Amino acid sequence: MLNQGRLSSFRYGLREIMGVYKVDEASASSLIASVIAKGSRVSIDSARLYVLEQEKLGLCPKEATDEICDLLDKYSRYR
């Protein structure tokens, strides 16, 4: 699960990644919201799988996907 206490920092990190790799703003907003929802409510693994699916669809480059997965690991909380 995502660490809810650091959610704003996580969101900022995602926005930075989207800006660096010039992901379309509409796609970026949707991707960020879905990653946060899945990471907060379901699991980090489901959020990671969602990001990988978006990469296969061509909405997110491979480098951004790798950085997002690293960010998910960094902001996860083990229970």
Domain positions in the chain are 4-74
Q: How far apart are CA 62 and CA 35, in angstroms?
A: 16
CB 73 within 8 A of CB 65: no
The SS3 call for residue 61 is: coil
Q: How far apart are the C-alpha atoms of 22 and 14, rounded to whole Å?
A: 12
Whether 78 shows a pLDDT value over 90: the answer reads no
CA distance 79 to 77: 7
- Report, in angstroms and rounded to the nearest whole number, the Rg of the chain calculated over CA atoms: 11
Quick: pLDDT tens for 24-77: 999 999 999 999 999 999 999 999 999 999 999 999 999 999 999 999 999 988
